[in-house]
């Protein structure tokens, strides 16, 4: 990895949930995976997080039921339990409150910055000073893009992109370093404002999901890493399980803030990002999104009175078609089906091409920070020239005197931009291009305007945004995929509605809505959450049947070609995401056979010598070790539990040593450790200095050992073990023998996330290759 965190690596051998150093590598072909693997069962946990290569660790979602935890749980009073529950709901409320406030701030900033920019351009256009207008338009966009890119490249590389794949990985049990820090959040906010106001073909929806997750993480840990609030109540949230719930609330709040869709936000978290779900989490997530809606509604009321500058009715995509009479007959099934099929085909094609472009961008970004900035500026320059120059290709259309809206206009918004046309005429392509992305969606979704946009202009708009949607995503700025896909889908949906003419009863604006929904389903492969989001956007329940129909067709067609766009990005970044459905060939392989491809398991005794513990920590990078009792007794060996590496390091740092080999009393461990200390991740063994005399002392590991680890018998299929591992959110899964014979160890191995990945298994068992599916390939 170079100084910018660019990808120049090849992976070394890896066994268990551990870390190794990466070797530099300079050559990488476009057809090779971004992270190379050696042909072993497990591989080095390296992945792209944001724009940096990081060592990946798993999260501890499992409850560590050692003696300290059990005593702490038994000793909690009713008041403390109430504090814990109350704080959960309070933090859920604060997540929604701050997400709503920041979303309002972003919308206000984008609408005002872009609005004044468009007003200045419109002033020169009205005077027929088109070259001056182009220079102002391009210069402003380049300046805004430069600010967004420099912030990302220099201060927070993890703020690049939408952040949703990394959130999805985190909720799957993968620790994604530096993804939820304060610096990342601030760069995401400012960068989103700059990138969206610059007119780039990207949205603020994905970044808002990331921002909401950052807010949740910061609240749960008491603030930034260097300035945490040492509030006693927050000790309850010093664990991965509760932080996972908060980040789930944050991701749902982000979607709600982007689309003003509370139910859609909850369903997005359930369908797309969350791996683990329960009813209590559903209630808190819904509560967070409800708070977001209240905040947004309050600010919309304030802004409608003219106190928000140029915000007006813009900033939040809201296409109200409640006044439109939705009528469709049996004959409309054909065009609606075509929209779904086109959405699935185009969505999968978009995913395929974007996959190749992201590989190409990775090669460019390896060259350093300057190349990242230049790439972003080149995309911004191309976008600005196209947005300003292509409207000259459109024909001027006469204004309809029967409409109530002003026509023509050169303001920042409106459905009828005059641009280069004489009085009484408007340029329909300028109406779609020389405006903010949110207003472009509003314009193309407009109903009861069958002749507003010409077919040539729609084709140009569709082709341009297909190109911009492919080349813009992947540059070093915060970016979302929702809005680019909505713009592309609405264009071909409206084109189909225009082509149908009088043969359909469905309004062209509704065709645009269905086209946007179909392309999102074809690319992102979401159905239920998208359906509810579009219903809440359109405010018309009569759209429900055909929206469901279109989404199901588009997802089915898309699934037959390739993975969803977020799964593709997860694969490119090398994040070890565990899918919900095991590969079929995994049922033909047992965990015992899988464990045989690994080195022998490293175990510790219940009362262990300090020298042995130091030797294990120094020579291995495993994150957990089975603790055995009675290895030197005739009665046989007993599996006492599993102890974490971080707890062993904590023992050595605190020097909790014994002069003799004995088990400690319960009060002894409580004098030295607290449950809050053990919840902290502290596994830096390099800071520990042990003297030669201390090496001969002993440590009682029993009080710190998780006595109830999850185990599977060696005859269990890998498919069944994978379902258990993913469903419970495990980090380690012990494999025990089917027959407990005398003299045999009670544990024969440990399986980790890397061991259960289809790709890694096929490296150790290539004969299964003929059975593997497209996902494994």
Cα dist from 195 to 180, 387, 695, whole Å: 20, 15, 58
DSSP state of 398: E
* Statement: residue 776 has pLDDT above 60: no
* Statement: residue 61 has pLDDT above 80: yes
User: Which of 211-215, 593-597, 647-651 has maximum average pLDDT?
Assistant: 211-215
DSSP state of 666: H
* Statement: residue 120 has pLDDT above 50: yes
pLDDT at residue number 52 = 64
CATH class entry, domain 330-573: mainly alpha
As a whole number, mean pLDDT of residues 688-692 equals: 82
DSSP E strand boundaries for 645-700: 698-700
Q: Are 41 and 755 in contact (CB under 8 A)?
A: yes
Task: Tell which residue, 318, 276, 323, has the closest CA to residue 293.
Answer: 318
pLDDT at residue number 29 = 43
Q: Residue 588 and residue 772: Cα distance in Å, rounded? A: 12
As a whole number, mean pLDDT of residues 257-265 equals: 91
Q: Residue 442 and residue 413: Cα distance in Å, rounded? A: 10
* Statement: residue 175 has pLDDT above 50: yes
Would you tell me how many other CB atoms lie within 10 Å of the CB of residue 568?
18
The CATH number of 78-305, from 1.10.3080.10, 2.60.40.10, 3.30.930.10, 3.30.70.560, is 1.10.3080.10
As a whole number, mean pLDDT of residues 666-677 equals: 79
pLDDT at residue number 7 = 34
Q: Are 47 and 56 in contact (CB under 8 A)?
A: yes
The answer to whether the peptide bond before residue 28 is cis (omega within 30 degrees of 0) is: no
- Residue 84 burial by CB count (10 A; 0-12/13-18/19+): exposed, middle or buried? middle
Would you tell me how many other CB atoms lie within 10 Å of the CB of residue 777?
9
* Residues ≥6 apart with Cβ < 8 Å to 506: 326, 327, 328, 332, 335, 336, 497, 546
**What are the phi and psi torsion angles at 576 (to 5°)?**
-75, 65
Q: What is the rounded end-to-end Cα distance, in angstroms, of the chain? A: 26
pLDDT, averaged across the chain? 84
Q: What is the pTM of this model?
A: 0.88
Q: Residue 761 and residue 593: Cα distance in Å, rounded? A: 11
Q: Residue 663 and residue 170: Cα distance in Å, rounded? A: 38
Higher pLDDT, 400 or 610: 610
Q: Are 206 and 162 in contact (CB under 8 A)?
A: yes
**What are the phi and psi torsion angles at 413 (to 5°)?**
-140, -175
- Two tokens at 511? 């065709």
Q: What is the pLDDT of residues 729-750, one digit of tens each?
A: 899 999 999 887 777 889 999 9
Task: Tell which residue, 685, 700, 615, has the closest CA to residue 645.
Answer: 685
CA geometry: angle at 420 spanning 416 and 425, to 5°? 45
Cα dist from 333 to 192, 485, 542, whole Å: 40, 23, 15
pLDDT at residue number 33 = 43
Three-state DSSP at 605 gives strand
Q: Where are the alpha helices (DSSP H) in 156-235?
A: 164-172, 182-197, 205-221
As a whole number, mean pLDDT of residues 661-667 equals: 84
For domain 584-772, give the CATH superfamily: CBS-domain (3.10.580.10)
As a whole number, mean pLDDT of residues 600-623 equals: 90
* Statement: residue 26 has pLDDT above 60: no
Domain 584-772 in the same topology as domain 78-305: no
Q: How confident is the model at residue 682 (pLDDT cuts 50, 70, 90)?
A: low
- Computed from CA positions of residues 535, 537, 542, 545, in that sequence, does the dihedral angle turn out positive or negative? negative
pLDDT at residue number 464 = 95
* Residues ≥6 apart with Cβ < 8 Å to 538: 319, 320, 321, 322, 513
DSSP state of 608: E
As a whole number, mean pLDDT of residues 348-355 equals: 95
Q: Are 396 and 426 in contact (CB under 8 A)?
A: yes
Q: Are 367 and 540 in contact (CB under 8 A)?
A: no
- Two tokens at 723? 């379902």
- Two tokens at 337? 């089906």
Lowest mean pLDDT of 533-547, 640-654, 666-680, name the range.
666-680
Q: How confident is the model at residue 23 (pLDDT cuts 50, 70, 90)?
A: very low
Q: Are 498 and 459 in contact (CB under 8 A)?
A: no
* Statement: residue 24 has pLDDT above 50: no
* Residues ≥6 apart with Cβ < 8 Å to 447: 321, 324, 507, 508, 509, 510
* Residues ≥6 apart with Cβ < 8 Å to 377: 142, 145, 146, 149
Q: Residue 659 and residue 697: Cα distance in Å, rounded? A: 5
Q: What is the pLDDT of residues 447-499, one digit of tens each?
A: 777 778 889 999 999 999 999 999 999 899 999 999 999 999 999 999 998 88
As a whole number, mean pLDDT of residues 671-692 equals: 75
Percentage above 90 pLDDT, the chain: 45
Q: What is the pLDDT of residues 746-770, one digit of tens each?
A: 999 999 998 998 888 888 888 886 6
- Two tokens at 1? 């990895």
DSSP state of 739: S
As a whole number, mean pLDDT of residues 331-356 equals: 93
* Statement: residue 3 has pLDDT above 60: no
Q: Residue 88 and residue 92: Cα distance in Å, rounded? A: 6
Q: What is the pLDDT of residues 552-572, one digit of tens each?
A: 999 999 999 999 999 999 998
Q: Where are the domains of the chain?
A: 78-305, 330-573, 584-772
* Residues ≥6 apart with Cβ < 8 Å to 280: none
Higher pLDDT, 6 or 474: 474
Lowest mean pLDDT of 37-46, 174-183, 221-230, name the range.
37-46
Q: What is the pLDDT of residues 502-542, one digit of tens each?
A: 787 788 888 898 999 999 999 999 999 999 998 888 777 77
**What are the phi and psi torsion angles at 137 (to 5°)?**
-60, -50
CA geometry: angle at 465 spanning 463 and 468, to 5°? 115
Higher pLDDT, 375 or 43: 375
Q: How confident is the model at residue 416 (pLDDT cuts 50, 70, 90)?
A: confident
Q: Residue 565 and residue 485: Cα distance in Å, rounded? A: 11
Task: Tell which residue, 658, 647, 646, has the closest CA to residue 694.
Answer: 658
Q: Are 481 and 523 in contact (CB under 8 A)?
A: yes
């Amino acid at each position: 990895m170079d100084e910018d965190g660019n990808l120049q690596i090849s992976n070394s051998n890896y066994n268990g949930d551990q870390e190794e150093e990466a070797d530099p590598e300079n050559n990488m072909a476009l057809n090779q995976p971004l992270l190379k693997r050696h042909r072993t069962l497990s591989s080095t946990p390296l992945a792209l997080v944001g724009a940096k290569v990081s060592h990946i660790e798993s999260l501890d979602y499992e409850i560590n039921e050692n003696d300290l935890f059990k005593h702490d749980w038994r000793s909690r009073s009713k008041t403390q339990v109430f504090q814990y529950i109350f704080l959960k709901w309070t933090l859920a409320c604060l997540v929604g409150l701050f997400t709503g406030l920041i979303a309002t701030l972003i919308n206000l900033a984008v609408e005002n910055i872009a609005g004044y920019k468009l007003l200045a351009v419109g002033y020169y256009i009205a005077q027929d000073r088109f070259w001056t207008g182009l220079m102002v338009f391009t210069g402003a966009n380049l300046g805004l893009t430069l600010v967004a890119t420099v912030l990302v490249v220099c201060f927070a590389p993890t703020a690049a992109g939408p952040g949703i794949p990394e959130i999805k990985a985190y909720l799957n049990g993968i620790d994604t370093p530096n993804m939820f820090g304060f610096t990342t959040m601030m760069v995401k906010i400012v960068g989103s404002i700059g990138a969206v106001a610059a007119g780039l073909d990207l949205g603020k929806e994905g970044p808002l999901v990331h921002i909401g997750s950052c807010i949740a993480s910061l609240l749960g840990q008491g603030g930034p890493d260097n300035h945490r609030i040492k509030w006693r109540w927050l000790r309850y949230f010093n664990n991965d399980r509760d932080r996972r719930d908060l980040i789930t609330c944050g991701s749902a709040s982000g979607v709600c803030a982007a689309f003003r869709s509370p139910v859609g936000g909850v369903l997005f978290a359930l369908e797309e990002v969350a791996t683990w779900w329960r009813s209590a989490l559903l209630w808190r997530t819904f509560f967070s999104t409800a708070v977001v809606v209240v905040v947004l509604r309050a600010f919309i009321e304030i802004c409608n009175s003219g106190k928000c500058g140029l915000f007006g009715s813009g900033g939040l995509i809201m296409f109200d078609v409640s006044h439109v009479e939705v009528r469709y007959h049996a004959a409309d099934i054909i065009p609606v089906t075509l929209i779904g099929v086109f959405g699935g085909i185009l969505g999968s094609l978009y995913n395929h091409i974007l996959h190749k472009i992201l590989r190409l961008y990775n090669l460019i970004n390896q060259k350093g920070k300057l190349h990242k900035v230049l790439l972003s500026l080149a995309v911004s320059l191309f976008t600005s020239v196209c947005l300003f120059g292509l409207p000259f290709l459109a024909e001027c259309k006469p204004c309809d005197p029967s409409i109530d809206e002003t026509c023509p206009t050169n303001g920042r918004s409106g459905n009828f931009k005059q641009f280069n046309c004489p009085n009484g005429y408007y340029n329909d392509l300028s109406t779609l291009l020389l405006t903010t992305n949110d207003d472009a969606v509003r314009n193309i979704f407009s109903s009861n305007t069958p002749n507003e946009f010409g077919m040539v202009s729609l084709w140009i708009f569709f082709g341009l945004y297909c190109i911009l949607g492919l080349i813009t995503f992947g540059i070093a700025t915060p970016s979302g995929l929702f809005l680019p896909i909505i713009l592309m889908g609405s264009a071909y949906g409206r084109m189909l509605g225009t082509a149908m003419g009088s043969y359909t009863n469905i309004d062209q604006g509704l065709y645009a809505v269905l086209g946007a929904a179909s392309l999102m389903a074809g690319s992102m492969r979401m159905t239920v959450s998208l359906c509810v989001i579009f219903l809440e956007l359109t405010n018309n329940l009569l759209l429900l049947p055909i929206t469901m129909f279109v989404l199901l067709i588009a997802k089915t067609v898309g699934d037959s070609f390739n993975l969803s766009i977020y799964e593709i990005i997860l694969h490119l970044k090398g994040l070890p995401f565990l899918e919900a459905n095991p590969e079929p060939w995994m049922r033909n392989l047992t965990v015992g056979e899988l464990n045989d491809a690994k080195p022998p398991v490293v175990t510790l005794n219940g009362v262990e010598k300090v020298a042995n513990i130091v030797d294990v920590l120094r020579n291995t990078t495993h994150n957990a070790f089975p603790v055995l009792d009675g290895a030197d007794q005739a009665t046989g060996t007993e599996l006492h539990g599993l102890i974490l590496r971080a707890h062993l390091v904590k023992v050595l740092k605190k020097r909790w040593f014994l002069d003799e080999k004995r088990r400690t009393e319960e009060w002894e461990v409580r004098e030295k450790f607290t449950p809050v200390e053990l919840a902290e991740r502290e596994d830096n063994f390099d800071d520990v200095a042990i003297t030669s005399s201390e090496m001969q002392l002993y440590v009682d590991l029993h009080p710190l050992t998780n006595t109830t680890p999850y185990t599977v018998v060696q005859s269990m299929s890998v498919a069944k073990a994978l379902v258990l591992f993913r469903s419970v959110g495990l980090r380690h899964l012990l494999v025990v023998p089917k027959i407990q014979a005398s003299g045999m160890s009670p544990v024969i191995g440990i399986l980790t996330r890397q061991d259960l990945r289809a790709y890694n298994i096929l490296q150790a068992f290539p004969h299964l290759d003929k059975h593997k599916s497209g996902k494994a390939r």
